[in-house]
Chains A and B, each alone.
Chain A
Amino acid sequence: NAGVMQNPRHLVRRRGQEARLRCSPMKGHSHVYWYRQLPEEGLKFMVYLQKENIIDESGMPKERFSAEFPKEGPSILRIQQVVRGDSAAYFCASSPPDKPYEQYFGPGTRLTVT
């Protein structure tokens, strides 16, 4: 059973460009969570999605950030017009529908904005 997959593992973008981060949950998991880890800090919740629904986006910055989890395909975290402060590790987690507290994490995407 493959774990949570994230790609790319490393992403370099120049200021003003767009970043797209992908997450494929574990088989059988329909809930996806995105967390951000800034340098020397713990993980901070960003958004919680189920298929075609955003359940909780209270941790998402108000501008430039969006997330989706379509019926088919991976979940996407999109950052428009990136700035240096967006440089961080972005982790995706997934859980089975009946156990949202049982989250399995992917290896993360490390975004560097130059």
Chain B
Amino acid sequence: AQSVTQLDSQVPVFEEAPVELRCNYSSSVSVYLFWYVQYPNQGLQLLLKYLSGSTLVKGINGFEAEFNKSQTSFHLRKPSVHISDTAEYFCAVSERTSGSRLTFGEGTQLTVNP
């Protein structure tokens, strides 16, 4: 079984500031890692995923994440945020062997203020 912990439930930042959303996971097997974004009253959109290879993964909208196996972390970063980045962000994992069901964290609400 896997679990995902998003360490911050809310992150307020000012526009053009850098941001890091933290995610730690626990699993007895190898996993794939994902970040999704959810805008109000909408579905989830995939930001980026780590399957294998380079531990630094670049996604859409200028976001990137780094997989750290020893710390079992997959933190999401953006060097300069925009007002439009205000949304809920979810970290998720799935088992490599089946790759099917996603286990999500509780989410981090990112609010970008002018």
- Given A106-B43, A107-B42, A108-B43, A48-B101 contact (CB < 8 Å): yes
Which of the segments A37-45, A69-77, A80-88 contacts the partner chain?
A37-45
Q: Are A42 and B106 in contact (CB under 8 A)?
A: yes
A residues 52-88 in Cβ contact with B at 8 Å: 55-56, 58-59
Bound together, the chains give a CA A45 to CA B100 distance in angstroms of 10
Q: For A103, give the chain B residue with the smallest CB separation.
A: B102
Bound together, the chains give a CA A91 to CA B38 distance in angstroms of 12
Report if B63 contacts A (CB, 8 A): no
Q: Are B104 and A100 in contact (CB under 8 A)?
A: no
Q: Are B106 and A33 in contact (CB under 8 A)?
A: no
What are the residues of chain A within 8 A of B104 when measuring CB–CB? 35, 42-44
Bound together, the chains give a CA A43 to CA B37 distance in angstroms of 12
**Total count of chain B residues near the partner, CB < 8 A:** 23
Q: Are A100 and B43 in contact (CB under 8 A)?
A: no
Q: Are A105 and B45 in contact (CB under 8 A)?
A: yes
B residues 29-75 in Cβ contact with A at 8 Å: 32, 34, 36, 41-46, 49, 51
What are the residues of chain B within 8 A of A33 when measuring CB–CB? 100-102
Bound together, the chains give a CA A85 to CA B99 distance in angstroms of 30
Q: Which residues of B contact A (CB under 8 A)?
A: 32, 34, 36, 41-46, 49, 51, 90, 94, 98-107
